[in-house]
Every structure is written in structure tokens, then in C-alpha cells.
Copies of this chain bind each other. A is one copy, B any other.
């Protein structure tokens, strides 16, 4: 072939390849824009709200008599910030009858703020944004009306993003008509049919609105067994509201759209019994107490010679702690308590993490296997133990926490000493909402909650407040760790001890402000009451 023809051919071939490549590289996704502003409410949602108004019949002409005992338990949406009144005062009455105190956060935080009105406004804005972002049609109230000829799924239908499923359970139960017709409408997806049935007419296949009709009811119902839903508007986790209707009747149900959950399983090896080294990492934070830290480590090694210990260290002049199976992390000086806790747990590579303070020490009663056992065999995410003082006094610091809705000013949070139930099969263990600072937990769940790094000095219950609704918490009084003695006469205290106490217990007004800001702003509370 002449040279110039060969060149021409090569050029054409190259251009063709280039075009095909460009076509291939051009992303094969929908070029339609997707509106991902927090959703206000689709037309179907508005229709549903209207329907619910209709359904909720009015029987206001029929009298009733309030049953006080029950009616008073119903939420009022208007929590009041009130401490318990002092009924009587006796020596030691506070010890035997711990009174409930109340902290009015609006006064405590806004009262100290230079510009309270704009903080209130900013909090309201952030909360509104939070509500709109977390809103889902899955939370809407839907009421199935009575005597509805439609049969449909009310929950349990889910589809992965951009994938297709058959909708289970759709059916029409009517009689004596010439023609039977149903319609389906959705917002985030389309309908189609996976198979065709004779004598059924289908309109709108591949669209957001499909209608199916037939003079033969059984044929229509057979066809309904093949109706599919395809999610077309990608979202990693949302809900589509579907309207399913026939003449004179409308039903609503939701389809969950979301990625299949990829689990986080831990390979701790196969062994009879619990291999604590494979299953557990011990985490602690240290400051100005290397001597106590050393005692802790030595005591751990007596019982668990190869378990990994992670130390978050924010000393001004850190000393290296170098032993096998120890990881030390140096933080900016005085960065703080919860920052150190968050750091330590961020480094854990085992299924469970055990939190200990740097002035604890292990004894033969510190049986980590017991904690692993209850975490493996129940739905608990976290289990606290007991801390024994040198006097013999042992504390579990069990608390219950409840949140009472409060309206625009924020909610009320109530903390009380105590627990909810004893755990069957574990007579020394109970279910609670907060426990002492000696606990073992599922690493991933603790990281999901996190320790707020802004809390630099004293903090404890803040973690459990952030954990509400996420962690299932227990407490066992038969797993005991010892607390290094705090009893020391003023003239025997070492310089280090004095320095530590100076740093830790001299809470400045800045610290208080941060705490109040966390409760008032971050957690949107108006009031806290506690023993």
C-alpha cells in the first residue's frame, strides 16, 4: 500500500480509537442534576399528611374521663428546670437522702456570654439544619386505613442504590367489577415489570408512575407479583415514599434505599477460651503520674503479659515508656483528658478496648475474661466494672439518663444513680446508661460515639450523654480493679502529687464555660438535673 495511504489509515484508526476512548471515559452516569438540599417534603409526603388528617376521625362529641395515673406519664414537651425541694434537714441528710440538684444551662452559659441573643439564634439555626439533614420519610407517621381493598408491605422493603427489586405483597382484593385498576407512584425511583401476564394492561413501565389494569382480578394480582422498583436517584441511605392506590383508596409505604452494610469483623484467631491479647487492647491517658503508670503496667503484666497497652501522654516533659507491647503517643502539652482518650481509642486494632485510668492497678479480681464473655454473649456494647479504693469501698458509679423534650429552649437531661434491670444469666451485672471509668467496650462502637476533644479537664458523663441511643451499656460488680491510694496527709504529698492536683482540680472559669457550652450548645440542653 502506498505510504500516504498507510499514514492516512493509521490516522483514521487513531482518531477512531480516540473517539471511542473519549466516549468510554465520559462517565456513563446520569447527566441529570440531582437536588441534594435537605428535602422539604415531596408531593407524595404532602398528600400523605393530608390523608392522615382525614383518617383521624373526630369523636369529640363523646365524653371521656382522664385517668390521671396514666395521663401524667405522657410527655408534655415542656420540661421544667427544677431541683427537688428540701423536705427536711438533718445531719448527714445529704448522704442518706441525696437530693436532686438542677443546673439551668441557659442562665449558666448565656448569663456569662457577651452576646446571648446571637448564640441562641446560632444554636437554633444549627439545630434546624441538623433536623433537616437527618429527616427521613421513614420517620413519618403513616396510618393504614381500614377496609382498604389493597394489600401492600408496610415495612421491610429495601433496595441498594440504583438497583432493582421486586416489591413483595402487592395485591387488590375486590369483587364484582368490570375492570380492576391500581397505580403506584414514587419519587426516587421507577417501576417496571419483571414478567408479563396476559389480559393485563400496563402503562408507565420504567417511569415514576405505573398503572396496571385488567378485567380479570387474578390476572392483575399475578401481574402485581412481578412489579419491580428501581432506585434512580442515588443516595447512600434514604427512604422513598410510595403511593399505592386504586379508585377510592390510597395507601402509602416506604422503601429503604441504601448501600448494603459492609461489616467490620475482627479476626482474633481460633482458640479455646478467650485470647485476651488478640481480643483486647488496654487504653489509658497519663499526666504527671509516671510512677502510678508504672505500677499499673507492672500489675497488668502479672496477669496479661502480652496484651497491648496504648498510652496517650500530654506531659510537658514526656518520659519514654518503652516496653514490649506498649505504644506511647506524645500529645501537645496539656491538650487534655478527653482528647487523650479519643486519641488512645483511635489507635486500637482489636475487637475490644479496655479503658483504665493511669492510677488503677490490676489484681487477681481483675478478670478481663468475664467482661469479654458478657460482651460476646449479649447485645451489650460496653460493660463497666468496679473500682476499689484502698479503704475497701468499691464503686460502680451506675447512672440512668433520660432526656425530656423541652421545646425551643432545649431539652432537659436527668441523671440518677442506679440502673434499669439485672441481666439474666449474669446476677452481678445490670443494664444502665452510664458507668464508672473502668470499662471494656466494642472498639468500633466507642469510636462511633467518641470523646469530645474540647473537654480538657474533668469530664466523664459527657461521653455517656453522647452515647445515648448508640451504646447498650452494662455494669458488672464482680470485675474489680484497684485504685491507687488518694489518702495522703498534706505534709507527705510529693511535689509531683501537688503539681498534679494543682493542675487537675483547679478548674478555671474557662473550663466551666466549655462544659456549659458543650451542654447548652452542642447537646442543645436547657437544663440538667442530677443527684
Contacts and interface: CB of A to CB of B under 8 A. Distances in A.
Contacts of A251: 144
Contacts of A524: 262-263, 265
Contacts of A376: 129
Chain A interface extent, by class: 35 or more
Given A155-B254, A411-B260, A524-B265, A431 B59 contact: no
A154 B163 contact: no
B133 A143 contact: no
A90 interface: yes
Contact of A418 (B28, B57, B196, B420): B28
Given A64-B197, A152-B143, A329-B329, A270 B453 contact: no
A423 B52 CA distance: 33
Contacts of A141: 153, 155-157, 168-169
A329 B332 contact: yes
A496 interface: no
A146 interface: yes
Given A34-B424, A267-B517, 12 more contacts: A27-B398, A62-B222, A64-B226, A66-B194, A122-B267, A122-B268, A126-B266, A127-B263, A144-B152, A144-B154, A146-B173, A328-B332
B420 A29 contact: yes
A444 B164 CA distance: 32
A263 B214 CA distance: 51
Contact of A470 (B237, B402, B422): B237
Contact of A143 (B118, B169, B237, B345): B169
A25 B377 CA distance: 30
Contacts of A453: 346-349
A253 B219 CA distance: 30
Contacts of A153: 141-144
Interface string A449-470: 0101110000000000110111
B195 A27 contact: no
A398 to B, nearest CB: 8
B349 A62 contact: no
Contacts of A392: none
Interface in A220-272: 221-223, 225-226, 228, 230, 233-237, 251, 253-254, 258-270
Contacts of A525: 262
Interface string A128-165: 01100110001111111111111111111100111111
A35 interface: yes
A45 to B, nearest CB: 12
B378 A236 contact: no
| Max chain B C-beta neighbours (<10 A), residue from A70, A134, A148 | A70
Nearest to A96: B21
B154 A145 contact: no
A6 interface: no
A348 B402 CA distance: 28
B469 A431 contact: no
Contact of A63 (B127, B198, B225, B424): B198
A47 interface: no
Nearest to A327: B332
Nearest to A454: B349
A36 B431 contact: yes
Contacts of A17: 90, 96
A419 interface: yes
B165 A146 contact: no
28 contacts: A17-B90, A17-B96, A27-B398, A27-B419, A33-B422, A33-B423, A36-B423, A36-B472, A36-B474, A37-B377, A55-B151, A55-B169, A63-B198, A64-B196, A65-B196, A70-B164, A73-B163, A74-B165, A75-B165, A122-B267, A123-B265, A141-B155, A143-B153, A259-B468, A260-B405, A262-B523, A327-B331, A342-B347
A55 B224 CA distance: 14
A20 interface: yes
Interface in A376-391: 376-380
A210 interface: no
Nearest to A330: B330
| Max chain B C-beta neighbours (<10 A), residue from A36, A152, A331, A450 | A36
Contacts of A65: 195-197
Interface string A326-367: 011111100100010011011111000000000000000000
Contacts of A454: 349
A448 interface: yes
Nearest to A376: B129
A218 interface: yes
Interface string A80-111: 00000000001000011100000000000000
Nearest to A471: B236
Contacts of A38: 378-379
A170 to B, nearest CB: 9
